[in-house]
Amino acid sequence: MNTCKNRCLVCEGESLEVLCRMASWYGIKMFHKVAICRDCGHIQAYPLFDEKEYSIVNRRFFGRKYLPDGQQNPDNSKKERKLNEQLSPYLREGLNILDIGAGEGWALDYFRKHDCRYFAIEAVARLSEAIRTRGGTVIGESLFDDVRGYEHFFDIVVFRAILEHMLSPSAALSRVRRFLHPDGLLYLSVPNAANFSIRKGFRTSYLRPVHISYFCEGNVLRLAHSAGFRAVRSQSSGAELSILLKRGSDKGLKNHNYYAQQKHFFRQQYRRAFVRDTFQIVRLYAARIRHRHIFADGLNEEKD
């Protein structure tokens, strides 16, 4: 497992170069650096947070994200359409599906329509209870829980919008691999760091402390390969990378260095959003001063 806070999460190189600072309400401090690896072009939070810092960041951010009890996010049709595009050719009756980081379990109804058996891993107790109530099986709170009996059990594992949050994405993928049946399929999706919107800001919105990694397609494939996967299909159009993987190795995969193109793209987005970001940073700074009692105790728990 990668334990060094200043080491690249993709190639494990130690030659990281600071690109800029993000500014966020949810960070331990208002600013946190983002760096690029000179050896592979991967972009990540710098330094990496430790477990305690990151759990505080997550609690601040996700504490505001989910809707109150019993309500489902009404905007699930788009996510369901994407799931259908990727997985419909592979679905058949009786498959065991694992949805990691299932959230409110919006995918449960989709898989049930296809007569598949739905299992979930979900950390938030209220959400996992809602999944159970609707007939899903929750097997754990975390990918790293001891879930004996489910090794190599699942025909399809859904791992959407999680890998970019992992302090050790390589260990996470290795763990996912253990759940997968030898012929099983992993549906991995991450935000595309080579194509994204800065409509709400670059340093103040796109870059955010809950995201540890900013993957381009080549580097997420490299990481998956090193964790024992080969790509069946990879789509990089739009702001999301959607990748279908199977266990195995991809001998044809070459490791490129995306340093120049990723640095150029991020610097370009920095300049494009400069005025908007500066305005947001001033507002954010004033808000953090106004609410300094929340942040004054540093790593201690917030008292809402």
Sequence-separated (6 or more) residues with CB below 8 Å from residue 287: 25
What CA–CA distance (Å, rounded) separates 127 from 36? 35
**Among residues 235 and 255, whose Cβ is nearest to Zn ion?**
255
CB of 10 to Zn ion, least distance (A): 5
User: How is residue 69 written in tokens?
Assistant: 């009890």
- Of the ranges 8-16, 50-58, 69-77, 206-214, which one interacts with Zn ion (CB under 5 A)? 8-16
CB of 12 to Zn ion, least distance (A): 7
Region of 58 please: left (phi>0), alpha (psi -120 to 50) or beta. Answer: alpha
CB of 42 to Zn ion, least distance (A): 5
What is the residue whose two structure tokens read 């809707």? 67
* Residue 13 touching Zn ion (CB under 5 A): yes
| Binding string, residues 39-68; x marks residues near Zn ion by CB under 5 A | xx-x--------------------------
* Residue 37 touching Zn ion (CB under 5 A): yes
* Residue 16 touching Zn ion (CB under 5 A): no
CB of 240 to Zn ion, least distance (A): 22
What CA–CA distance (Å, rounded) separates 97 from 90? 11
Strands (E), the chain: 16-23, 31-37, 43-46, 96-100, 117-121, 137-140, 154-160, 180-191, 213-214, 229-235, 240-247
Q: In what order do the strands lie in the sheet with 96-100?
A: 137-140, 117-121, 96-100, 154-160, 180-191, 240-247, 229-235
> Which among 50, 49, 51, 33 has a CA at the least distance from the CA of 207?
33
* Residue 11 touching Zn ion (CB under 5 A): yes
**Among residues 42 and 160, whose Cβ is nearest to Zn ion?**
42
Count of helix runs (H) and strand runs (E) in the chain: 9, 11
**Among residues 107 and 224, whose Cβ is nearest to Zn ion?**
224
Looking at residue 179, its amino acid is F
Partners of 138 in beta bridges = 120
CB of 224 to Zn ion, least distance (A): 15
The site for Zn ion, by CB under 5 A, has a size of 8
Q: What is the 3-class SS of 63-77, one letter each residue?
A: CCCCCCCCCCCCCCH
What CA–CA distance (Å, rounded) separates 243 from 227? 14
CB of 35 to Zn ion, least distance (A): 10
**Among residues 14 and 129, whose Cβ is nearest to Zn ion?**
14
CB of 206 to Zn ion, least distance (A): 21
Site residues (CB under 5 A) for Zn ion, limited to 223-242: none
**Among residues 130 and 223, whose Cβ is nearest to Zn ion?**
223
- Of the ranges 29-37, 53-61, 79-87, 135-143, which one interacts with Zn ion (CB under 5 A)? 29-37
**Among residues 136 and 218, whose Cβ is nearest to Zn ion?**
218
**Among residues 72 and 255, whose Cβ is nearest to Zn ion?**
255
Residues that bind Zn ion (CB under 5 A): 8, 10-11, 13, 37, 39-40, 42
